[in-house]
Structure 1
Amino acid sequence: MPYGLYLSAEGAQAQSRRLEAIANNMANANTVGFKPDVALFQSRFAEAIQQNQAVPGIGGPNDIGGGVKAIETVTNFAPGKLQKTGNAADLAIIGQGFFQVAAPGGEALLTRAGNFSVDSQNRLVMAGSNMPVLDAGGSAIELDPALPWGVSPGGSIEQAGELTPLAIVEPESLGDLQKAGANLFRSRSEPLPVAPQNREVRQYFLEMSGANPTTEMMSMIETSRAFEANTKMIQNHDQMLSGLVNRVLSV
Structure 2
Amino acid sequence: MFRIMWNGTSGMYAEQEKMDAVSNNLANMNTVGYKTQQVSFDDLLYGDLSKSKYPVTNGKTQYAGTGVKANEWLRNNTEGPLTETDRKTDFAINGDGYFRVTKADGSKAYERNGQFAIDNTGKLVDSSGNVLDIQYNVDPNSVDFKDDNIVLAQNGEIGIRVSDSEIRDVGKVNLYNVVGDDAMASIGNNLFVPKAGAQVSVVANPSIEQGWVEGSNVDVATEFTDMIVAQRAYEFSSKSLKTGDEMWQLVNNLR
Asked whether the two chains share a fold, i.e. TM above 0.5, the reply is yes
Whole-angstrom CA distance in 1 between matches of 2:88 and 2:207: 16
**What is the aligned-residue RMSD (CA, Å)?**
2.6
SS at 1:64's partner residue? Answer: strand
Secondary structure of 2:40's aligned partner: strand
Q: Counterpart in 2 of 1:143?
A: 144
Superposed CA offset, 1:127-148 (max 9, x none): x211110113699795343972
2:229 aligned residue: 222
1:54 equivalent in structure 2: none
Alpha-carbon separation, structure 1, partners of 2:91 and 2:5: 52
Residue 93 of structure 1 corresponds to 93
Aligned amino acid, residue 88 of structure 2 = A
Q: Which has the larger displacement, 156-165 or 113-122?
A: 156-165
Aligned to 2:164: none
Distance in structure 2 (CA, Å) of the matches to 1:18 and 1:146:
42
After TM superposition, give the deviation of residue 124 of structure 1 in Å. Answer: 0.6
Q: Does the 8 A contact of 1:33 with 1:114 survive in 2?
A: yes
Compared with structure 1, are the counterparts of its residues 203 and 25 closer, same or farther at alpha carbon in structure 2 (3 Å cutoff)?
A: same
**Whole-angstrom CA distance in 2 between matches of 1:103 and 1:48:** 53
**Alignment length, in residue pairs?**
236
Normalising by structure 2, report the TM-score.
Answer: 0.84
1:30 CA drift (Å): 0.9
What is the CA-CA distance between 1:114 and the residue it aligns to?
0.3
Closer, same or farther in 2 for the Cα pair 1:60/1:48, shift >3 Å?
Answer: closer
CA shift, 1:106, in A, is: 0.8
Q: 1:146 to 1:241 in 2, by over 3 A?
A: closer
Q: 2 CA distance for matches of 1:28 and 1:90? A: 19
> Aligned match of 1:194 in 203, 217, 226?
203
Deviations 1:216-240 (A, max 9, x none): 1221122112112211221122012
User: Which residue does the alignment assign to 2:5?
Assistant: 5
**Amino acid corresponding to residue 157 of structure 2 in structure 1:** S
Q: Structure 1 residue runs of 4+, over 4 Å off?
A: 137-142
Shift of 1:154: 0.8
* Among 155, 169, 174, the residue aligned to 1:167: 174
Aligned ranges 1:121-132 → 2 under 5 Å: 121-126=121-126, 128-132=127-131
| Native 8 Å contact 1:3 1:46 kept in 2 | no
Does the C-alpha gap of structure 1 residues 60 and 137 become closer, same or farther in structure 2, counting only changes over 3 Å? farther
Aligned-partner SS, 1:175: coil
Matches within 5 A, 1:1-251: 2-46=2-46, 63-126=63-126, 128-136=127-135, 142-145=143-146, 148-159=149-160, 160-188=167-195, 189-195=198-204, 198-247=205-254, 250=255
Residues 185/80 of structure 1: CA separation in 2 closer, same or farther (3 Å cut): same
- Cα offset, 1:102, TM superposition: 0.7
Closer, same or farther in 2 for the Cα pair 1:147/1:93, shift >3 Å? closer
Per the TM alignment, residue 48 of structure 1 is displaced from its structure 2 partner at its CA by 8.1
Deviations 1:19-51 (A, max 9, x none): 1111111111111111111111011224689xx
* Cα deviation, residue 184, structure 1: 0.9
Change in 2 beyond 3 A, CA 1:210/1:147: closer
CA distance in 1, matches of 2:26, 2:148: 41
- SS of equivalent residue, structure 2 residue 66: strand
Secondary structure, aligned partner of 1:233: helix
Task: Give 1:192's aligned amino acid.
Answer: S
**What's the TM-score, normalizing by structure 1?**
0.85
Q: Structure 1 unaligned runs (5+)?
A: 50-58
Asked if 2 retains the 8 angstrom alpha-carbon contact of 1:155 and 1:166, the reply is yes
Unaligned runs of 5+ in 2: 50-59, 161-166
